[in-house]
Amino acid sequence: MIEIEAVTKLYDDVAVVDNVSMVIEPRTVTVVVGTSGSGKTTLLRMINRLVEPSSGAIRLDGEDNRSIPGHELRRRIGYAIQGHGLFPHRTVAENIATVPGLLGWEKSRIAAKVEELLTLFQLDPKMFGSRYPHELSGGQQQRVGVARALAAEPNVLLMDEPFGALDPIIRAKAQDDLLAIQKHFGTTIVLVTHDMDEAFYLADKIAVMDKGRVLQYGPPAELVRAPAAPFVETLIGDAERPFRLLSAAKIGAAVEPGEADGEPIGEDGTQQEALADLLWSGRKALPVVSASGAPMGRVTLDALLKCAARPQ
């Protein structure tokens, strides 16, 4: 759990982060959105003390983050940034081994971890471990950057526009991978982005920042249903509202008993995906199956339209 309590950061007497308080639950994905310059990066960097707050406190699992030296704190917290920041003079394996090396892990343990992570990120350890960052594609570099951030098995992973430099197809894949890995390790993720689609797709909770303040902090659907400020509405976009609701909700939540014809869809997908499938195939209902493939019922066009309508 990350507790941010009345945190303020002043640069030249200007509050770049202004009295921000929020509690981030363990094992969730929290996305911080806002326009450029709204203080997202500064807020994120105060969690691992790359920036020291002017006032306020941040606690990790109840412990003040100033209770240990900054560099030791940062070894416990994963950090991934836009443009990956891989060390160009070190191989992929050496890059991933950075934090375990700093923590003094045994060689064999480090090697096992590097191999595990490369495999998890679908990079063949034999082929990629000895390569240098400039020998990888952008998508591969980004995956190695995240793998490096996770190498010491941190409970918390901070990500600053980690997918900002990727093209849309690779970006979508990276987002899916991130969710899978978050499930796998149970990591608490705080991710900064200015891409609202990304925010709605990834977030358990979204924090909207503007001029250093957090205007609203809550589940994606709540932001659509009850925007706390005109700025939040603008950010979500009037024309996008129904689709944001659908993209933030799982198909499983709209399942009803019954039969339907055709290719089934997994309950884990978003309702937006189900709607797209229905519209494109011209059907009125889709069969839904669980992750293991067991039939669960169906999802209908009518049900989805209700889900997308302005909540009462």
Ligand X SMILES: Nc1ncnc2c1ncn2[C@@H]1O[C@H](COP(=O)(O)OP(=O)(O)O)[C@@H](O)[C@H]1O
Give the binding site for ligand X (CB under 6 A). 11, 16, 34, 36-42
Rounded to a whole number of angstroms, the minimum distance from the CB of residue 295 to another protein is: 46
Q: Name the binder of 34 from Mg ion, ligand X, another protein, none, CB < 5-8 A by kind.
A: ligand X
What six digits make up the tokens of 142?
């980004």
Rounded to a whole number of angstroms, the minimum distance from the CB of residue 212 to Mg ion is: 13
Q: Which residue number, 206 or 254, has a Cβ lying nearer to ligand X?
A: 206
Q: Name the binder of 42 from Mg ion, ligand X, another protein, none, CB < 5-8 A by kind.
A: ligand X
Rounded to a whole number of angstroms, the minimum distance from the CB of residue 309 to another protein is: 44
Q: Which residue number, 36 or 312, has a Cβ lying nearer to ligand X?
A: 36
Instruction: Name which of 250, 282, 249 is nearest 266 in CA terms.
Output: 250
Q: How far apart are CA 207 and CA 214, in angstroms?
A: 6
Q: How far apart are CA 195 and CA 112, in angstroms?
A: 35
Rounded to a whole number of angstroms, the minimum distance from the CB of residue 43 to ligand X is: 7
Residues 253-292 interacting with Mg ion (rule: CB under 5 A): none
Rounded to a whole number of angstroms, the minimum distance from the CB of residue 80 to Mg ion is: 13
Q: Name the binder of 132 from another protein, ligand X, Mg ion, none, CB < 5-8 A by kind.
A: another protein
41 binds Mg ion (CB under 5 A): yes
Whether the CB-CB separation of 66 and 49 falls below 8 Å is answered with: yes
Sign of CA dihedral 254, 255, 258, 259: positive
Buried residues in 281-296 as b, exposed as e (16+ CB within 10 A): eeeebbbbbeeeeeeb
Q: Which residue is nearest to Mg ion (CB)?
A: 41
Question: Contact residues for another protein (CB under 8 A)?
Answer: 48, 50, 71-76, 79, 81-89, 98-99, 102, 132-134, 145, 148, 158
Q: What is the DSSP letter of 250?
A: B
Rounded to a whole number of angstroms, the minimum distance from the CB of residue 168 to ligand X is: 21
Q: How far apart are CA 225 and CA 230, in angstroms?
A: 13
Q: Name the binder of 109 from ligand X, another protein, Mg ion, none, CB < 5-8 A by kind.
A: none
How many of the chain's residues bind Mg ion (CB under 5 A)? 1
Return the SS3 of 253. Answer: helix
Q: Which residue number, 38 or 91, has a Cβ lying nearer to Mg ion?
A: 38
89 φ/ψ angles, rounded to the nearest 5 degrees: -95, 5
Q: Name the binder of 16 from ligand X, Mg ion, another protein, none, CB < 5-8 A by kind.
A: ligand X
Rounded to a whole number of angstroms, the minimum distance from the CB of residue 117 to ligand X is: 27
Q: Which stretch binds Mg ion (CB under 5 A): 41-49, 57-65, 182-190, 258-266?
A: 41-49
Report in angstroms the alpha-carbon separations of 293 from 39, 84, 177, 273.
Answer: 44, 37, 21, 18
Q: How far apart are CA 228 and CA 260, in angstroms?
A: 40
42 binds Mg ion (CB under 5 A): no
Q: Which residue number, 44 or 265, has a Cβ lying nearer to another protein?
A: 44
Whether the CB-CB separation of 286 and 298 falls below 8 Å is answered with: yes
Length of the chain: 312
What six digits make up the tokens of 119?
């495999």
Report in angstroms the alpha-carbon separations of 80 from 74, 131, 237, 292.
Answer: 12, 20, 29, 32
Q: Which residue number, 41 or 216, has a Cβ lying nearer to Mg ion?
A: 41
